[in-house]
Amino acid sequence: MDLIVVMKASATADDVQRVVDRVAELGLVPHPSKGEFRTIIGAIGEKSPETQDQLEQLPGVDEVMVITQPYKLASREFHEADTILDIKGIRVGGPHVNIIAGPCAIESREILFEVGRAVKDAGASILRGGAFKPRSSPYSFQGRGREGLELLKEAGAELEMPTITEVVDPRDVEVVYEYADMFQIGARNMQNFNLLLEVGKTDKPVFIKRGLAATISDLLMSAEYVLSQGNHRVIMCERGIRTFSEEVRFTLDISAVPVLQERSHLPVFIDPSHAAGKRDLVPALALAGIAAGAAGAIVEVHSCPDRALCDGPQAVLPGNFVTLMQQIRQVAEIVGHRVTLWGREETQPRRPVTGGWAT
């Protein structure tokens, strides 16, 4: 059974290192996590009956507790406070609300840059765009691959926005790492464990979408795969699950947001675009997720969705995205969160104007 070693607030760096070394000597894998006031160390692996007593006697140790959840590093038992990630200067998680936006797929330089400028002006802080697109049909557009990655990197540099794109194959992790700032693990790859292990060996944030028929515990265990490899920069995303409803593409499980936040310290996003499947429903679902306490949303935006090569019906028009950002900011303020606009935290009231925000 796995353990958590809670260090005293007065513990020194030498005390922490001594515990880490001892955990490794006992055949367990140490996972230190430094909080605002104290450090805790996860000790993952099979332990002997004497292990807990031995660790409790080390200098600087306050207490040693057993982790009861099957997901160890993702649980609040391991890390009580909300995890807040720093992604190229943008703070994600905790009280911060961030919107990821852009086209579903990178179709052309013109569309990517046009939509990228529009979502940045409206207040999105992270640019999305798919270079590899796993589709239900083998005959559908599958993305532009490396060419798309090159365009995404160029757009991110010019717009000064972090970028996120989906990785679908463990063999592509290296090239996606080179061009993008965040990995996205799509719903259909949530339990591609080899892929999760590969991105877990990197130091870039990993954005994991809940599978179509996955439980909340399944999603947490997928996050655990990444965390187990040493990458603690993980975001979970509720994107809709299959139910008996035929009115929408998937059913967005709003209750998953507070349940995940109760069980885990990791940031939780929502994907209203894939859940709705219809652009007219995207704003309502996005606002519901933010009202439920989500740390952000990932929204598909396209300037000419009727000609989009992927998921055009659910893509929001740039002008409507401006209105949505205004509404998100208002809802976030009501629930006590702060929206990040243009890569910085919103601290003063602003009035909406066409094309973006003005002081």
Any domain includes 333: yes
DSSP at 211: P
**What single-letter amino acid sits at 215?**
T
Per-residue pLDDT of the chain (359 residues; tens, 9 = 90+): 689 999 999 999 999 999 999 999 999 999 998 877 789 999 998 878 889 999 999 999 999 999 989 999 999 999 889 999 999 999 999 999 999 999 999 999 999 999 999 999 999 999 999 998 665 666 565 567 889 999 999 999 999 999 999 999 999 999 999 999 999 999 999 999 999 999 999 999 999 999 999 999 999 999 999 999 999 999 999 999 999 988 999 999 999 999 999 999 999 999 999 999 999 999 999 999 999 999 999 999 999 988 887 878 999 999 999 999 999 999 999 998 888 775 566 544 433 333 333 32
Same structural domain, 135 and 55: no
pLDDT the model gives residue 354: 35
Instruction: Please return the burial class of 137, using the count of CB atoms within 10 Å of its CB with bins 0-12, 13-18 and 19+.
Output: exposed
Let me know the angle formed at the C-alpha of 151 by 240 and 190, rounded to the nearest 5 degrees: 25
* Residue that has been written with the tokens 């802080």 in this structure: 125
Please tell me whether residues 23 and 165 are part of one structural domain.
no
For residues 295 and 261, state if they share a domain. yes
Structural domain range at position 134: 85-358
With CA atoms as reference, report the closest residue to 193 among 165, 211, 170.
170
* Number of folded domains that form the chain: 2
Q: According to the model, what pLDDT value does residue 359 have?
A: 25
pLDDT value at residue 166: 96
pLDDT value of residue 349: 40
Whether residue 74 is contained in a domain is answered as no
- CA 325 from centre of chain: 19
269 lies in the same domain as 343: yes
Kindly report the CATH number assigned to the domain that includes residue 29. 3.30.70.1140
In a domain, 339, yes or no: yes
Domain C-terminal end among 36, 66, 96:
66
Considering the domain architecture, whether residues 53 and 133 belong to the same structural domain is answered as: no
Give yes or no: residues 137 and 251 share one domain: yes
- CATH number of the domain that residue 106 is part of: 3.20.20.70
Q: What is the pTM of this model?
A: 0.88
Q: How many whole angstroms separate alpha carbon 90 and alpha carbon 86?
A: 5
